[in-house]
Structure 1
Amino acid sequence: MGTIFHQASWVIKKILKATKYVEHIGLREADLVTWEQFSIKAIYMKLSGEFQRVPWRRLVCNNGGAPRWLFILFLAIWGKILTRDRLPKRGCTENTSCALCDDSKESCGHLFFTCSFSVQVWNKLLLWQGIPRTALNWQ
């Protein structure tokens, strides 16, 4: 008998706790009763709120790449990769020239797309994939 009472009180506590979340998204108990089908997804979407979708979302989300690749991609998109143009602000180095070509200031855009070494890599990859164009810039 004590176990059943304990389980019932636990369920009631959970229901009462969930009530505050339902009220937070602007629903009432009467609204939930009228639903023909309860949808966890609908509640989740209301709780998460509206957000603006970014154009690069599919590059990072649902991507089959290794987690470290996705992390580097995420850092690059937000401009947070510690390239040599950013390191002097942290007091790490004075040298801002590219480590690969030593011709230009090393930035994310230069390192991945306009460096002579990177352009060669991109052109070979595009050729290998049968894409008839040259490498583009970061933008």
Structure 2
Amino acid sequence: MKIGQVAREAGVSVDTVRFYERRGVLPEARRRPSGYRMFGAEAVERIRSAKALQELGFTLDEVVDALHAHDAGGATCESERWRLEAVVDRIDARIAELARVRDNAAASLEDCRAGRCRLTSAGSADHR
């Protein structure tokens, strides 16, 4: 398959296919004498798998590592569960940080409603 067909079937752009090839998500494509990339049908499924992992919260480096572990053989849910645990831990940390930021913003809003606006007095101790 040419790169355009792979991109269409996988639901991504041609640039994404090229990027995934450069980053190791896809193995390097064979080339025709004309220089055109030629991919096997498995490239579409590999891209779909990569996108599914990214939608779960995996970074691109984690996607590459997980796919390479699968390629090496022997990967099982048991042996790979730690990857999902790491993603969940990272998401939980982000949620906690966002909760802290939201609490600070909500407190600032309450101060503003009470006439103690932190926005207009930033850096000035006189107006606090």
**Scaled by the length of structure 1, what TM-score is found?**
0.23
RCO higher in structure (CA 8 A, sep ≥6): 2
Which one has the largest radius of gyration? 1
- TM-score, normalised relative to structure 2: 0.24
